[in-house]
């Protein structure tokens, strides 16, 4: 099976070439008409009076119809190819849209904002939303698919090259729609397996930072497996430090940025549902360090 | 007979007449004034959006303000600028073109204008009442439900659009009855000018499409104010119902916006080519086909919603089908020009510009009918590019053509051709610079309705080019407004028929007297004034 | 300008226009048909309102299944059928009124229409009393919206009927025939919508 992005790319190229040829042809006819028949050019003679030609009308109705029929057949072909119906997926990942972050669930293992998939493996995403309509879109990996509350949509992913691919939410979902970015990491099967195993394991426990975490309101929204924190309104933080960004792409993920984020998330992502929690400086340092250790 | 329009030098004592007028010409001017004003406001909103997006991670405006700006920009341009401009020209010109003294229901005509305007005012009042709607011009549920849009913005959207829509529906009834029942002797329906044909077809579209929007708005209001569950999945409703209803209105709406403009250039091109329109029957007939088909394509706005391959394929087929009658028109316009004697006046430049830009918009539209391509680029700047090519490159250029053509009839003075050329070329350059790069931005991943974008995306340079284009467009509009203002006061006197035109509106004075015609026109063909001027070359019908 | 839009031949055409005489000399040409403007306007308006109601009905039907149990348990077909008869009968009285231009039959129509609305109101009161309203469950939302919008149209019809009644109190022939027909047309439309709504909501629930 071809990767969906490749199938679409080929079809787009064909349609693009056809469109370009039509564009050139029509615009050339237009320019020709203006140049050849402009009044300043012809001084003698009356303008023509012809005003109908049924054969011509039929011809230039039939020709586009024929071209479109061909394009339609190609469309059906590509649709059948990219929906992955003929090829069973090797794995299913549940993807849920939230305002304004992504929840990914591999069986029982939850993570957020960063999706890992093995290379050369057909993967199906089961897409839904807990609030408004979002849309999962990573252009280099395939088409987009909307995430509607109350229903489940499906999207087939198949990547042939390892690497990091970026995308973002493609259905206006509120004030921070622009900062609902996705990173998809395509890895070898071995690397993927070890990543998934690490994600499935509980967090290392203990320390000052963990104490701060468990004693503030963080626990009402966030979960860290291995502790008592089991909140579901916000992203799962069990392995938050394994991700490249904070806040679905709004900040790079290192301890300094994490500390700034914790001090005032509204400064970086105003309108997001994470409130500003007043914490003492020492507590912020400990918390940032703790979260930075959750690889 | 004086060419200075009476309404320009109307003494103060008579000015209350504007508020109570029931004359179709004055109501037409009111509509056009409304359209021009809201076009300027919508344009300023667009400049704000482009300024914010010129550079990555800019903070010129906060996301809340940006979201209100793009929401109101869309509603303004579509419902408060373009539609009133088109309805305004139709109001003014259709009775003249069919030899009638007014529209069928003059008082209802006034009512429809005031409803349209009040709807717009209600929408804008939201800025003063806690915030404008910020959920996009198509306001998808459940984002537009109380839970996610708790302010009153969306409620003002609902009421404003419903009132404005009522005005438009009433206006459509009026125009349809006028065209069907008030044509002068000899003006069979197969002889009416194409602008009249398009107005008739557009009226039918309005009457079939706007009620669906009204229904959706009522349901949303029930959800928001009475705790209903039409679009609330938790209560058993479905978010997708809103989309079906909205786009059942929304797609015919774009043809409502383009067909009258196509009618305008169907008047301009023959006159400035000195030839009859090629294929009148096919141009008229293809509009009927477009109207019919336009009610069967709505779900091509929903290819990524998950309706399923079968439904998607059906709507893909109908969407490709509708491209055919559209293409037919383009070929007919070019064939009109071939063999003619083209006078490249400002009106003609804009008409030709319409064709050139609409071809691009039409082709990107066909690309979007290809389901997998759409699933890749829908909800991205590719669609923003497409819609602006058809609605600005198409409709607005058509409206500009109509303006340069009919301004003399309405005011008795010509617009400056020199400024008109500046207006055209600045518009052409600015428009393409703004929107051509957006095709690429969409293809590489920039979604719609984002208030900013990460620097790491590399989308900065093309966005900057787009913003520069917008600035050039703004200059073009200033040139246009200067042309309008100057020419109303001191433009060259036009006379009855400055363009040596073909249709009945040019057989009366500029501007026409209140009763439109001093003598009753009688018609024997599609170019009644031409026939009168050239009795030796009578057309055979 | 006469109502039909046809320009009467008595008007003298001045020099600039082709005289009607020479026009006739070219043989008959299709002229604007003699349909009344007001009637055509009302007909087109009704067509437009039909699209509106169709959308609401379709939403009701789309959501019918999830609300069926509630509907079965709470709708009273017999009672509603009774006051529906009043509305259906009012179409008959309206037709009579228009034909005979009778204020009395017009009053009968208004009374029957008011009976219908009162019945509808009592149905609403009963349902609301049982905790079923637009906000309660999906059935409540769709039921109240569909029947409520219809009720608003009936009310608007009553206002039109009242206007006609008052105008008719003056000189009996002061009200144009087309006005009677137009209001009658609208009233029949409102009745027809109720036929659809009653069938879909009440009969559709129990049959």
CATH number at residue A73: 1.10.287.90
The pLDDT tens digits along chain A (295 residues) read 789 999 999 999 999 999 999 999 999 999 999 999 998 875 566 778 888 999 999 999 999 999 999 999 999 999 999 988 888 999 999 999 999 999 999 999 999 999 999 999 999 999 999 999 999 999 999 999 999 999 999 999 999 999 999 999 999 999 999 999 999 999 999 999 999 999 999 988 888 999 999 999 999 999 999 999 999 999 999 999 999 999 999 999 999 999 999 999 999 999 999 999 899 999 999 999 999 999 8
Distances (CA, A) of B323 to A66, B370, B396: 12, 12, 20
Please write the tens of the pLDDT for every residue from C93-131.
Answer: 999 999 998 889 999 999 999 999 999 999 999 999 999
Are residues A96 and A187 located together in one domain of the fold? Answer: yes
CATH number at residue B177: 1.20.210.10
CB contact under 8 A, B363 and A8: no
Give me the pLDDT at residue C30, please: 39
State phi, psi for B365 to the nearest 5 degrees: -65, -40
Provide the CB-side half-sphere exposure for B179 (13 A, CA).
Answer: 27
Give me the pLDDT at residue B374, please: 98
How far apart are alpha carbons A270 and B436 in whole angstroms? 32
The whole-number average pLDDT for the span B453-474 is: 97
Q: How confident is the model at residue C22 (pLDDT cuts 50, 70, 90)?
A: very low
How far apart are alpha carbons B376 and C67 in whole angstroms? 37
Residue C20 CB neighbours (<10 A): 17
State phi, psi for A165 to the nearest 5 degrees: -125, 135
Note whether residue A21 is domain-resident.
yes
Q: What is the ipTM of this complex?
A: 0.96
Note whether residue B12 is domain-resident.
no
CB contact under 8 A, A144 and B342: no
Are residues A146 and A120 located together in one domain of the fold? Answer: yes
Note whether residue B50 is domain-resident.
yes
Q: What is the count of structural domains for chain B?
A: 1
**DSSP result, B513-539:** PTTS-SS----SSS-HHHHHH-GGGPP
Distance from CA of B137 to the nearest CA of A (A): 11
How far apart are alpha carbons B454 and A251 in whole angstroms? 10
Q: In terms of DSSP bridges, do strands A153-157 and A101-106 run parallel, antiparallel, or are they unpaired?
A: unpaired
Distance from CA of B520 to the nearest CA of C (A): 6
Closest CA to A218 of A209, A207, A231, A206: A231
Note whether residue B260 is domain-resident.
yes
Give me the pLDDT at residue A206, please: 80
Note whether residue B11 is domain-resident.
no
Give me the pLDDT at residue C32, please: 46
Which chain B residue's Cα is nearest to A179? B453
How far apart are alpha carbons B281 and B259 in whole angstroms? 15
Distance from CA of C39 to the nearest CA of B (A): 10
Give me the pLDDT at residue B1, please: 36
Distance from CA of A226 to the nearest CA of B (A): 32
The whole-number average pLDDT for the span B10-29 is: 78
Give me the pLDDT at residue B6, please: 47
Phi-psi group of B268: left, alpha or beta (phi > 0 → left; psi -120 to 50 → alpha; rest → beta): alpha
If DSSP codes are grouped into helix, strand and coil, which group holds residue B258?
helix
Please write the tens of the pLDDT for every residue from B260-297.
Answer: 999 999 999 999 999 999 999 999 999 999 999 999 99
Note whether residue A203 is domain-resident.
no
Element (H, E) at B351: helix B346-369
Largest CA distance in chain A: 97
Interface of B with A in 133-162 (CB under 8 A): 134-136, 140, 142-143, 147-148
End position of a domain, from candidates A163, A193, A223: A193
Note whether residue A230 is domain-resident.
yes
Interface residue B445 vs chain A (CB under 8 A): yes
Give me the pLDDT at residue C7, please: 33
Distance from CA of B324 to the nearest CA of C (A): 27
Q: Do chains C and A touch (3 or more CB pairs under 8 A)?
A: no
Are residues A174 and A236 located together in one domain of the fold? Answer: no
If DSSP codes are grouped into helix, strand and coil, which group holds residue B447?
strand
Are residues A71 and A95 located together in one domain of the fold? Answer: no
How far apart are alpha carbons B185 and B187 in whole angstroms? 6
Chain A residues within an 8 Å CB radius of B136? 172
- Written as six digits, the tokens of B417 are 């051709």
Interface residue B237 vs chain C (CB under 8 A): yes
CB contact under 8 A, B309 and A80: yes
- Helices and strands (DSSP H and E) totals, chain C: 8, 0
Closest CA to C112 of C52, C194, C169: C194
- Domain encompassing residue B208: 22-530
CB contact under 8 A, C14 and B235: no
CATH number at residue A133: 2.60.40.420
Give me the pLDDT at residue A201, please: 94
Closest CA to A7 of A188, A152, A157: A157
CB contact under 8 A, C51 and B207: yes
How far apart are alpha carbons A75 and B303 in whole angstroms? 13
Closest CA to B249 of B292, B300, B210: B210
How far apart are alpha carbons B288 and B282 in whole angstroms? 10
- Domain encompassing residue A51: 4-82
What length does chain B have? 541
Interface residue B162 vs chain C (CB under 8 A): no
CB contact under 8 A, B245 and C55: yes
> Which residues are CB-contacts of C23 (< 8 A; sequence separation ≥ 6)?
B185, B186, B522, B524, C29
Mean of the per-residue pLDDT values of chain B: 94
What length does chain A have? 295
Give me the pLDDT at residue B17, please: 81
Give me the pLDDT at residue A43, please: 57
Q: What is the count of structural domains for chain A?
A: 3
Interface residue B512 vs chain C (CB under 8 A): no
> Which of A9, A23, A28, A68 to mutate to test binding with chain B, by most B CBs within 10 Å of its CB?
A68
Question: Across-strand partners of A98?
Answer: A101
CB contact under 8 A, A175 and B280: no
Distance from CA of B334 to the nearest CA of A (A): 6
Please write the tens of the pLDDT for every residue from C140-183.
Answer: 999 999 999 999 999 999 999 999 999 888 776 677 888 899 99
CB contact under 8 A, C5 and B173: no
End position of a domain, from candidates A61, A82, A103: A82
If DSSP codes are grouped into helix, strand and coil, which group holds residue C16?
coil
Which chain C residue's Cα is nearest to B175? C41
Chain A residues within an 8 Å CB radius of B321? 68
Out of B304, B334, B454, name the one closest to residue A29 (CB): B334
Largest CA distance in chain C: 77
Are residues A220 and A127 located together in one domain of the fold? Answer: no
Note whether residue A201 is domain-resident.
no
Distance, C-alpha C18 to centroid of its chain = 44
Distance, C-alpha A142 to centroid of its chain = 9
CB contact under 8 A, B105 and C31: no
Touching C (3+ Cβ pairs <8 A), the chains are B
**Residue C9 in this model has a pLDDT that exceeds 70:** no
**Residue B541 in this model has a pLDDT that exceeds 70:** no
Chain B with chain C: Cβ pairs closer than 8 A: 147
Is residue B85 within 8 A of residue B109, CB to CB? The reply is no
Interface of B with C in 167-226 (CB under 8 A): 169, 172-174, 176-177, 180-189, 207-208, 210-212, 214-216, 218-219, 222-223, 226
What length does chain C have? 207
Is residue A87 within 8 A of residue A123, CB to CB? The reply is no
CB contact under 8 A, B379 and A139: no
Are residues A256 and A276 located together in one domain of the fold? Answer: yes
Chain C residues within an 8 Å CB radius of B532? 18
Interface of B with C in 448-507 (CB under 8 A): 507
**Residue B134 in this model has a pLDDT that exceeds 80:** yes
Out of C11, C19, C145, name the one closest to residue B228 (CB): C145
Are residues A156 and A110 located together in one domain of the fold? Answer: yes
| Domain map (residue ranges) of chain C | 38-206
Give me the pLDDT at residue B415, please: 97
CB contact under 8 A, A52 and B339: no
CB contact under 8 A, B239 and A148: yes
> Which of C4, C7, C147 to mutate to test binding with chain B, by most B CBs within 10 Å of its CB?
C7
End position of a domain, from candidates A82, A111, A128: A82
Note whether residue A252 is domain-resident.
yes
How far apart are alpha carbons B307 and B272 in whole angstroms? 48
Is residue C116 within 8 A of residue C154, CB to CB? The reply is yes
**DSSP result, chain A:** ---HHHHHHHHHHHHHHHHHHHHHHHHHHHHHHHHHHBTTT--SSPPP-----HHHHHHHHHHHHHHHHHHHHHHHHHHHHHTTTTS--SEEEEEEEETTEEEEEETTEEEESEEEEETT--EEEEEEESSS-EEE--TTT---EEE-BT--EEEEE--SS-EEEEEE--S--STTGGG-EEEEEEE-HHHHHHHHHHHHSPPP--SHHHHHHHHSGGGGT-B-BTBS-B--SS---TTGGGSSEETTTTEE-SHHHHHHHHH-HHHHSTT-SPPP----HHHHHHHHHHHHT--
State phi, psi for C5 to the nearest 5 degrees: 85, -5
Chain C residues within an 8 Å CB radius of B521? 17
Give me the pLDDT at residue B13, please: 54
Q: Greater confidence, B16 or B296?
A: B296
Q: What is the CATH number of domain C38-206?
A: 1.20.120.80
Interface residue B454 vs chain A (CB under 8 A): yes
Place of tokens 């700006």: B69
Q: Greater confidence, B34 or C2?
A: B34
Out of B148, B279, B343, name the one closest to residue A57 (CB): B279
CB contact under 8 A, B306 and A26: no
Note whether residue A202 is domain-resident.
no
If DSSP codes are grouped into helix, strand and coil, which group holds residue C11?
coil
The whole-number average pLDDT for the span B105-123 is: 97
Touching B (3+ Cβ pairs <8 A), the chains are A, C
Q: How confident is the model at residue C23 (pLDDT cuts 50, 70, 90)?
A: very low
Which chain B residue's Cα is nearest to C28? B186
CB contact under 8 A, B241 and C49: no
């Amino acid at each position: 099976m071809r990767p969906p992005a490749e199938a679409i790319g080929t079809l787009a190229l064909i349609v693009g070439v056809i469109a370009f040829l039509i564009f050139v042809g029509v615009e050339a006819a237009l320019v020709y008409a203006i140049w050849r028949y402009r009044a300043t050019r012809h001084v003698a003679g009356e303008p023509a009076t012809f005003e109908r030609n049924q054969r011509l009308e039929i011809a230039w109705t039939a020709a586009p119809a024929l071209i479109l029929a061909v394009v339609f057949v190609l469309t059906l072909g590509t649709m059948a190819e990219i929906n992955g119906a003929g090829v069973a997926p090797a794995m299913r990942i549940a993807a849920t849209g939230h305002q304004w972050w992504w929840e990914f669930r591999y069986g029982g293992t939850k993570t957020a904002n960063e999706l890992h998939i093995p290379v050369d493996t057909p993967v199906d995403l089961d897409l839904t939303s807990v609030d408004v309509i979002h849309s999962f879109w990573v252009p280099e990996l395939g088409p987009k698919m909307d995430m509607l509350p109350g229903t489940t949509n499906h999207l087939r992913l198949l990547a042939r090259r390892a690497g990091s691919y970026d995308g973002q939410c493609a259905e206006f979902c509120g004030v921070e729609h622009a900062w609902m970015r996705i990173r998809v990491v395509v890895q070898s099967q071995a690397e993927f397996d070890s990543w998934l195993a690490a994600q499935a394991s509980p967090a290392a426990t203990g320390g000052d930072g963990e104490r701060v975490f468990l004693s503030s309101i963080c626990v009402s929204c966030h979960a860290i497996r291995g502790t008592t924190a089991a909140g579901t309104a916000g992203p799962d933080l069990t392995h938050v430090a394994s991700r490249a960004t904070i806040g679905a792409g709004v900040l790079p993920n290192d301890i300094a940025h994490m500390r700034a984020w914790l001090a005032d998330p509204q400064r970086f992502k105003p309108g997001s549902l994470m409130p500003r929690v007043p914490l003492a400086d020492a507590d912020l340092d400990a918390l940032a360090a703790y979260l930075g250790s959750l690889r | 007979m004086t060419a200075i329009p009476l309404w320009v030098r109307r003494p103060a004592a008579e000015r209350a007449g504007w508020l109570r007028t029931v004359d179709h010409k004055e109501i037409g001017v009111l509509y056009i004034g409304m359209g021009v004003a809201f076009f300027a406001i919508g344009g300023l909103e667009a400049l704000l959006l482009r300024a914010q997006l010129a550079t990555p991670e800019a903070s010129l405006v906060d996301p809340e303000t940006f979201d209100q700006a793009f929401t109101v920009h869309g509603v303004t341009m579509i419902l408060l600028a373009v539609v009133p401009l088109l309805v305004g020209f139709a109001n003014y010109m259709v009775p003249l073109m069919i030899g009638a003294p007014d529209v069928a229901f003059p008082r209802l005509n006034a009512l429809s204008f005031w409803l349209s305007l009040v709807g717009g005012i209600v929408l804008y009042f939201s800025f003063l009442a806690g915030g404008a709607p910020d959920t996009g011009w198509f306001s998808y549920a459940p984002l537009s439900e109380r839970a996610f849009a708790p302010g009153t913005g969306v409620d003002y959207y609902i009421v404003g659009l419903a009132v404005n829509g009522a005005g438009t529906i009433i206006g459509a009834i009026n125009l349809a009855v006028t065209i069907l029942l008030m044509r002068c002797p000899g003006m069979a329906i197969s002889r009416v000018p194409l602008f009249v044909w398009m107005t008739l077809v557009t009226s039918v579209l309005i009457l079939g499409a706007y009620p669906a929007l009204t229904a959706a708005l009522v349901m949303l209001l029930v959800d928001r104010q009475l705790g209903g569950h039409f679009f609330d999945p938790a209560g058993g409703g479905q978010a997708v119902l809103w989309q079906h209803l909205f786009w059942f209105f929304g797609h015919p709406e774009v043809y409502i916006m383009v067909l009258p403009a196509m009618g305008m250039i169907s008047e301009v091109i023959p006159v400035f080519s000195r030839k009859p329109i090629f294929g009148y029957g096919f141009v008229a007939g293809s509009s009927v086909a477009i109207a019919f088909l336009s009610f069967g394509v709505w779900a091509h706005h929903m290819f990524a919603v998950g309706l399923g391959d079968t439904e998607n394929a059906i709507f893909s087929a109908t969407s490709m089908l509708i491209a055919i009658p559209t293409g037919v028109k383009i070929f007919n316009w070019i064939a009109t020009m071939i063999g003619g004697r083209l006078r490249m006046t400002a009106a003609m430049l804009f008409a030709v510009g319409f064709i050139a830009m609409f071809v691009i918009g039409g082709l990107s539209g066909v690309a979007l009918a290809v389901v997998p391509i759409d699933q890749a680029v829908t909800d991205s700047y590719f669609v923003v590019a497409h819609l602006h090519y058809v609605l600005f490159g198409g409709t607005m250029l058509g409206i500009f053509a109509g303006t340069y053509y009919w301004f003399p009839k309405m005011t008795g003075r010509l617009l400056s051709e020199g400024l008109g050329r500046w207006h055209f070329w600045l518009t052409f350059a600015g428009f393409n610079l703004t929107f051509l790069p957006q095709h690429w931005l969409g293809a590489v991943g920039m979604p719609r309705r984002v208030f900013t974008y990460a620097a790491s995306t590399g989308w900065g340079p093309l966005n900057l080019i787009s913003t520069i284009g917008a600035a050039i467009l703004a200059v073009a509009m200033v040139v246009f407004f200067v042309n309008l203002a100057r020419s109303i006061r001191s433009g060259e006197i036009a006379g009855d028929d400055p363009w040596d035109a073909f249709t009945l509106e040019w057989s009366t004075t500029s501007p026409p007297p209140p009763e439109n015609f001093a003598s009753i026109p009688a018609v024997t063909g599609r170019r009644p004034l031409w026939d009168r001027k050239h009795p030796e070359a009578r057309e055979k019908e | 300008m006469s109502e039909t839009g046809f320009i009467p031949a008595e008007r003298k055409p001045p020099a600039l226009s082709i005289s009607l005489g020479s026009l006739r000399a070219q043989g008959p040409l299709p002229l604007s048909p003699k349909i009344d403007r007001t009637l055509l306007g009302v007909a087109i308006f009704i067509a437009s309102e039909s699209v509106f109601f169709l959308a609401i009905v379709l939403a009701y039907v789309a959501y019918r299944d999830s609300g069926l149990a509630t509907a079965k348990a709470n709708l009273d077909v017999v009672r509603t059928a009774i006051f529906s008869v009043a509305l259906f009968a009012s179409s008959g009285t309206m037709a009579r009124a228009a034909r005979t231009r009778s204020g009395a039959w017009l009053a009968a129509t208004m009374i029957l229409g008011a009976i219908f609305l009162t019945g509808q109101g009592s149905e609403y009161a009963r349902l609301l009393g049982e905790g079923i309203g637009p906000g309660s469950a999906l059935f409540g939302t769709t039921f109240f919206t569909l029947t409520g919008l219809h009720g608003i149209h009936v009310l608007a019809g009553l206002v039109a009927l009242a206007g006609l009644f008052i105008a008719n109190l003056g000189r009996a022939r002061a009200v144009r025939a087309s006005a009677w027909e137009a209001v009658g047309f609208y009233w029949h439309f409102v009745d027809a919508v109720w036929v659809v709504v009653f069938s879909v909501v009440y009969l559709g629930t129990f049959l």
